[in-house]
Chains A and B, each alone.
Chain A
Amino acid sequence: MSSVEQAAAEQPQSKSPAWEVKAAKQSRLAFGLAVGELARRDEKVAAISADTIDLFGLRPFLEASPERLIEAGIAEQNAMGIAAGMATTGMRPIICGYAPFITTRSLEQLRNDVAYANQRVVIGGACSGIVLAMSGGTHHAVEDIAIMRNMPNMTVIAPCDARQTWQAALATEQLDGPCYLRLGGKFDEPDVTELDADFRIGKADQLRDGNDVTVIACGALVAPALAAAEALAHDGIGVRVINMHTIKPLDRDAVLKAAAETGAIVTAEEHRVTGGLGGAVAELLAVELPTRMRMIGMPDEFAIIGPTARVREHYGMDQNAISDACHELTK
């Protein structure tokens, strides 16, 4: 039993944070729990909501520490500017927003007040990718990685499950500049990682070894990448799987090593293929070690409406498409 699990087992009644994170199964809720934990550890931490209290499960936090939660209302620009201003005074604001709105609605505040001024603001973006597929294009966030990655000073993390979200959110304590965490929505995400895994911002997780092709995935596409690798093993194809939870700063060594050792790279993300994880990997390889690649993600269009799983399949953001790309590169 790991130390975290032990802690959880010792106090199942009191619902320790570890117990709650394990029960949460959703990265947005794990992020909300981490906000509470960070606030317990540091009195300068405060949450900023934009009518997103329940989206992040913050009601218990609000009840326990009402003075530590600033409700900005449905006003993302204001929330972003408030956070930057608070940070200049030594506070540690954490913004809890919807990924589609908190990245694009408040974009200039993000660029000028947060990134340019290099303030320690942590931004959680729930319902990223096409989690809200049935809501239509106004609610899809398939350009957020590209946007955030293009902000100097910004750290960009797309955790692959609730547990890793908890770890990543706690790790932001050590950061000196702004950080964006890309989160899921209101359905359970498969557990991929352990709560006490060795997590470091900027250090990729190699989840599976293989020498024929490497899949570099982030967020919701890590679990399908693992499933594809497992299935391909039966066909005698050795697939290395890397969970690139930190897209910026990119773990260059992990990418270059995989390119050198497997000679073929598939990237997989719930994001447009332009400017995201695939873009980051391609930019590096084009200069350092040109390597055959396939990119799994959204094409240059606004996504159709429908249930998320169906829309993911429509655009080939699933196990089958990852598997096909691996086959193609190993033919």
Chain B
Amino acid sequence: MNSNYQAKIDGLKEDARHIRRNIWRALHGAGGGHMGGSSSAADILAALYFHHLNLRPKEPDWQDRDRFVLSKGHANAALGATLARAGFIDDSVLDQFYVYQSNFGMHPDIKMAGVEMSTGGLGHGLSVGLGMALGARMQGKDFRTCVMVGDGELQEGSNWEGAMAAAHLGLSNLTVILDYNKIQQSGTVTQMMGLEPAADKWAAFGWAVREIDGHDMSAVVEALDALPYAEAAPSLIIAHTIKGKGVSFAEDSFLWHNNMVTDEVYAKALAELGEPG
């Protein structure tokens, strides 16, 4: 590894740490929210927005931008923190989470700069992303579309309709990233409605699949750099992650899917995440 590459990875890790701190900040300001699924996605979001996606934060409606859809919309604190760091929205917006008349609510709202689709009802993003990928292909444009889904979210049947269609249409400009933290709202995915064998299912649907550790920044970057994985098929990245990643007491527990964040809890979380660099 050359030193430039290492510096890049270190920078992205720092971006992810900022995102995590700001997730807690937004949720603390709001009194609570979806900590677990926001934090598990932070490393991937950092790699997407500060390495992979072709975007112009000062020109959010630029026609040829890459598209990102956060289908697991309840992780909006993570998206907001990312959009603020990327310069789409002002940092002060992060203190407007859930606030009266704010556009920064618990779920992404298309009215906010950088948000491609209002999400929150689970199981919509894949079809919408598929439509964006088709829009690119039919208009001869190069932009790529990426959709992040949750593992519990994949229980919605619409995902599998979209998965079938994207493969049928051979949309190699479409990528789905599965934030595979193994936990949903009321328990583990295995307890509620098992997803395994996840990779085999998607492969059987006609997707080109890769599995990575979603908290290993080099692995995330390499997986994104290698896209697309097939010439005429959509790509799936199964990112194995930890719900609540970064703050020990919130990790790997459904109790932190959505929880209150008191002053005390916030102070403990920030202490674990470390001072901003």
Task: Point out residues on A near B: beta carbons under 8 Å.
Answer: 49, 51-54, 71-78, 100-101, 105, 132, 134-139, 304-307, 310-311, 314
Contact = CB atoms under 8 A, between A and B. Distances in A.
A294 to B, nearest CB: 26
B157 A136 contact: no
A138 B119 contact: yes
Interface of B: 30, 73, 98-107, 109, 118-123, 152-153, 155-157, 184-187, 191-193
B98 A305 contact: yes
A76 B193 CA distance: 13
B155 A74 contact: yes
A217 to B, nearest CB: 25
Contact of A74 (B100, B101, B109, B156): B156
Given A136-B106, A138-B121, A51 B98 contact: no
B120 A138 contact: yes
A49 B155 CA distance: 13
A304 B153 CA distance: 25
A136 B186 contact: no
Contacts of B192: 51, 71, 73-74
A282 B113 CA distance: 42
Contact of A77 (B101, B157, B191, B193): B157
A52 B100 CA distance: 27
A73 B193 contact: yes
A314 B99 CA distance: 13
B100 A72 contact: no
Contacts of A311: 100
Contact of A49 (B98, B105, B186): B186
A278 B68 CA distance: 41
A71 B190 CA distance: 11
B100 A307 contact: yes
Contacts of A307: 98, 100
Contacts of A306: 98-102
* Residue of A49, A138, A306 with highest tally of chain B CB at under 10 A: A138
B105 A134 contact: yes
Nearest to B109: A136
B99 A101 contact: no
Contact of A139 (B99, B120, B153, B157): B120
Contacts of A77: 157
A137 B105 CA distance: 10
B193 A137 contact: no
Contact of B102 (A73, A76, A132, A305): A305
A100 B107 CA distance: 14
Contacts of A138: 73, 107, 118-121
A74 B122 contact: yes
19 contacts: A49-B186, A52-B186, A54-B185, A71-B186, A71-B192, A72-B155, A73-B192, A73-B193, A74-B193, A134-B30, A134-B106, A136-B105, A137-B118, A138-B119, A305-B101, A305-B102, A306-B98, A306-B99, A306-B100
A304 B109 CA distance: 11
A204 to B, nearest CB: 34
B121 A105 contact: yes
A139 B106 contact: yes
Contacts of B186: 49, 51-54, 71
A135 B107 contact: yes
A136 B79 CA distance: 15
B101 A101 contact: no
A239 B104 CA distance: 41
Contacts of B102: 305-306
A72 B193 contact: yes
B256 to A, nearest CB: 13
Nearest to B155: A73
Nearest to A135: B106
A136 B101 contact: no
B152 A74 contact: yes
A305 B33 CA distance: 15
